[in-house]
Amino acid sequence: MKRVILVHGLNGYPQEGWHPWLIRELENRQVKVINPAMPNPHSPKQRYWVSKLQEVVGNPDENTFLIGHSLGCITILRYLESLHGSQRIGGVILLAGFTDDLDIQELKDFFRKDINWEEIKKHCGRLISIHSDDDPVVPLEYGNIFKEKLNAEEITEHEKKHFSGDDDIYELPILLEKLTELLR
């Protein structure tokens, strides 16, 4: 059975923004959805977030798909770096992802070492990166970095800000469309 695991961002929570809508859509398609609360979302630490994701994923396989929002993206990338040998997942969608701490103190712990792009590619099928052209937190340039470093498909949405409930984003059709492609 295919399963999708959602990883929220800094100050996020499982029922935030578009999460309930996406969960309903996927459950209607008979896809198992796991939507954990990440530890201490207001003051996150990489080791606890990656450990939580390892626990939730269990045994990774080609039927495992991960969706990260904001801080959830680097958590997924760090998780992929931690996989061994031939362990692989089916695919990843990075929503408003970034590759440095954005000068935000709470994010610094996730960037104490360089990202191992080659290791990530070994453990993941298709990668898709989605950014908004008016995101006040994450500039569009990060989509180009994911495209260059991970061969990710880059999608730019218009006027979706940071894709959060605070931005009144409660449905995200492009996310469902791209995830449906990954699940085929």
pLDDT digits (tens, 9 = 90+) for 123-176: 999 999 999 999 999 999 999 999 999 999 999 999 999 999 999 999 999 999
When divided into structural domains, the chain yields a total of: 1
* Burial of 86 (C-beta count, 10 Å sphere; 0-12/13-18/19+): exposed
Q: Of all residues in the chain, what percent carry a pLDDT higher than 90?
A: 99
pLDDT digits (tens, 9 = 90+) for 37-69: 999 999 999 999 999 999 999 999 999 999 999
Domain that holds residue 86: 3-11+24-183
pLDDT digits (tens, 9 = 90+) for 74-107: 999 999 999 999 999 999 999 999 999 999 999 9
pLDDT digits (tens, 9 = 90+) for 10-47: 999 999 999 999 999 999 999 999 999 999 999 999 99
18 lies in a domain? no
Question: For residue 78, which of 108, 124, 56, 110 has the smallest C-alpha distance?
Answer: 110
In the chain, DSSP finds a helix count (H) and a strand count (E) of: 6, 6
Calculate the dihedral angle through the C-alpha atoms of 136, 99, 62, 119, rounding to the nearest 10 degrees. Answer: 180
Yes or no: say if 75 and 92 are a contact pair by the CB < 8 Å rule.
no
pTM of the predicted protein model: 0.98
106 lies in a domain? yes
17 lies in a domain? no
16 lies in a domain? no
129 lies in a domain? yes
